Amino acid sequence: MPPISERAHRDDVLDDIYASTILRKGLPKDRFPDSSNLPENVFAAVRDELMLDGNSRQNLATFCQTWVDDEIRRLMDLSIDKNMIDKDEYPQTAEIEARCVRMLADLWNSPTPGDTMGCSTTGSSEAAMLGGLAMKWRWRKKRQAEGKSTDKPNMICGPVQICWHKFARYFDVELREIPLEGDRLIMNVEEVLKRVDENTIGVVPTLGVTFTCQYEPVKAVAEALDRLQKETGLDIPIHVDGASGAFLAPFCAPELEWDFRIPRVKSINTSGHKFGLAPLGVGWVVWREKSDLPDELVFNVNYLGGNMPTFALNFSRPGGQIISQYYNFLRLGREGYTHIHSACYDTAEYLAAEIGKMGLFEILFDGDRKAGIPALAWKLKDGAAIGGYTLYDLADRLRSRGWQVPAYSMPANREDLVVQRILVRHGVSRDLAELLLDDIRRAVAWFEQHPVTRPMTAAEATGFNHN
Ligand SMILES: *Cc1c(COP(=O)(O)O)cnc(C)c1O
């Protein structure tokens, strides 16, 4: 037996992460652990679990940012301890949030960008709840002032993201979602007008519909609502869900009128962590003018040592994403956002052209920057596929090479239509697109050699489609 001091030394030498107790026996999964473990061993164990997650850069389903520069990593590290709600303790972070709101109000052409209301959120979903609540409150106040009933609010939209279904259910609003018809895969003026009445709290067009990536016609709907007001007196506001588009159109389709240039547009939400290029966890909602956000929805928090207005569903919230958003605004400016997003549109158009050339697919949206976001969507041409595969089978085959290219069915009344979609984000380079095209061609050739005897159905498809 060597002396104790030497044995301790040998133990250190023998120390090995994968031979340590926790990694040799397997990690606790169902019971709260009794004992402690060395941080480096636990880190390795958890990091290795994460290897089984998909590679986010090959995830062409998500609209969210998967590439950030090193400066953002450093700012995120510096702000790991900053709580957005402690506006008194972190006044400069609060000031940065306010600057971002003013910059967005300016980008979206608010008549009073220096003085409007808006806030950061955890994403577009929370921002949509706040925008929806403000519409509901404004409608209710008006109805109460007229001595009319306030028990049946409704909201009108096209094929919306799930957050609006949540808003409607959580806050008791009837969702009048316009069904699709034939080749019309978004809202149009006639269908909106069929559904408005005195209980409509607002119309919500989407700038970048989740399913096909198209922009809905905000201006045409606003003009139709202007005519309706002239004829009937009904004054129905618009909230734009610009989760993706509000960070794209101002740069790549500046002449498109969808924002506060239209007086009827009272509020806009967007996701900072999508085409705002910030890390995950930030969204924004901005009102056209201060008076568009009812006072009753704003709380004044004073027990943290100051008196600060807050409007949010969360209390504590990380500040790093907001600081990174500000960094992006300063780093990129209009010039940089235009530069980055145009490259994405070019690649989306290229992919659409190449996939179209394969002869098997009909392109439903081709990445046209005046009409939607940098993305493409297609369906199988009737009878074109040799080998009996569906788009679900194709998605599954691509998954074996690490690509996530979701296939999904459309909402009512086009549930029969199965669509596949690619989002081209910052970091999806032309070379990455070429590699994907090669894999699509290989997958198609595989199915031609190995026909599918039982095509995959929607229920069996596991692909995450972000709807
Ligand atoms: C992504 C998305 C949302 C939800 O946004 P999060 O930031 O993920 O909460 C809402 N609406 C549309 C149109 C979207 O694309």
Name the nearest CA neighbour of 39 among 52, 22, 53: 22
Sorting pLDDT into bands at 50, 70 and 90, what band is 322?
very high
Spacing, Cα 11 to ligand 1 middle (Å) = 52
Task: List Cβ neighbours of 112 (8 Å cut-off, separation of 6 or more).
Answer: 105, 289, 290
* Closest residue by Cα to residue 149 from 197, 202, 203, 204: 197
- Give the tens place of pLDDT for each residue, 192-216: 999 999 999 999 999 999 999 999 9
Mean pLDDT over 123-142 rounds to: 97
Return the domain boundaries, the chain: 4-53, 71-329, 342-449
For the stretch 423-457, pLDDT in tens is 999 999 999 999 999 999 999 999 999 999 999 98
**pTM for this entry:** 0.94
Contact between 282 and 119 under an 8 Å Cβ cutoff? The reply is no
- Which CATH number is 71-329's, of 3.40.50.720, 3.30.70.940, 3.40.640.10, 3.40.47.10? 3.40.640.10
327-344 residue pLDDT tens: 999 999 999 999 999 999
Predicted confidence at residue 7, as pLDDT, reads 53
CATH (one of 3.90.1150.160, 3.40.47.10, 3.50.50.60, 3.40.50.2300) for 342-449: 3.90.1150.160
Under DSSP, is residue 204 helix (H, G, I), strand (E, B) or coil?
strand
Ligand 1 pocket: which of 274, 282, 321, 408 to mutate (most atoms within 8 A of CB): 274
Token pair, residue 152, equals 């049946």
How far is 257 from 370, CA to CA, in rounded Å? 11
Distance 242 CA to ligand 1 centre (A): 8
Ligand 1 atom showing the smallest separation from residue 63 Cα: 1
Q: How far is the CA of 241 from the centre of ligand 1 (A)?
A: 8
Residues framing ligand 1 (Cβ under 6 A): 63, 123-125, 161, 163, 206, 208, 210, 241, 243-244, 271, 283
Ligand 1 pocket test, candidate residues 162, 163, 244, 248, most atoms within 8 A of CB = 163
Per DSSP, the residues of 109-150 read T-SSTTT--EEEESSHHHHHHHHHHHHHHHHHHHHHHTT---
Q: Which of residues 222 and 309 earns the better pLDDT score?
A: 222
Residues in CB range of 33: below 8 A, 6 or more apart: none
- pLDDT tens for 163-183 read 999 999 999 999 999 999 999
Contact call for residues 412 and 176 (beta carbons, < 8 A): no
Poorest-pLDDT segment among 3-7, 10-14, 15-19, 113-117: 3-7
Helix axes 391-399, 430-449, angle to 10 degrees: 120
Q: Which atom of ligand 1 is nearest to the CA of 206?
A: 13
